[in-house]
């Protein structure tokens, strides 16, 4: 095994231990108010930042197709039309078509 690859795998594994395993390993006793906050507010904050991250990352690759197709997906999800499959299909088809047209 190449040394750089082994180091990368260890770094990935330690990252997982730090950010995913460590927070759940100990039975932290949080106040009831904080638990409610972590269940209601924190996930919402994460999902809103997911949206920002995905839109801005994809717009760096291809601005107009990404904005339009992710916008279509978001609207379909918001209106609850056709479920995940339709939303993903609508987003992907519009993205690849627009990419081909604008290329």
Partner 1 sequence: MPSFRRVLPSAIAIIPVSMLFGILTYRADWSYLEILVAGFLGFTGSGQFALLPLAEANAGFLTMLVICASINSRYFPIAFTTTKRLPKTFFARMFVAHILGDEAYATEKNSDTVKETVCIRLTIFVFWVVSGVIGAMIAKAIPNAWLSTDIHLGFPASVVLVHLSVSQIKMRVSGIFHMQLVMVIACLLSGTAFYLLLGSTYFWMPGIIIVALILDKWKKYE
Binding footprint of partner 1 on the chain (CB under 8 A)? 1-5, 7-25, 28, 33, 37-58, 61-62, 69-70, 73-74, 76-78, 80, 84-85, 87-88, 91-92, 95-96, 99, 103
* Nearest distance, CB of residue 39 and partner 1, angstroms: 6
Least distance between partner 1 and beta carbon 89 (Å):
9
1 vs 101, which CB is nearer to partner 1? 1
- What single DSSP character describes residue 81? -
- Minimum CB separation from partner 1 for residue 24, in Å? 5
Report the half-sphere exposure of 1 (CA within 13 A, side-chain side).
8
CA distances from 69 to 24, 33, 35, 75, 83 (A): 36, 39, 36, 10, 16
Q: Over the Cα atoms of the chain, what is R_g? A: 20
Distance CA 73, CA 88 (A): 7
């Amino acid at each position: 095994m190449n040394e750089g690859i082994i180091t990368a795998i260890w770094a990935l594994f330690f990252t997982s231990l730090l950010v995913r395993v460590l927070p759940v390993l100990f039975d932290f006793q949080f106040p009831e108010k904080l638990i409610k906050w972590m269940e209601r507010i924190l996930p919402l904050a994460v999902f809103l930042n997911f949206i920002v991250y995905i839109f801005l990352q994809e717009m760096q690759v291809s601005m107009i197709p990404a904005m339009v197709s992710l916008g279509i997906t978001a609207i379909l999800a918001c209106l609850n039309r056709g479920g995940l499959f339709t939303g993903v299909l609508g987003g992907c088809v519009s993205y690849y078509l627009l990419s081909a047209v604008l290329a």
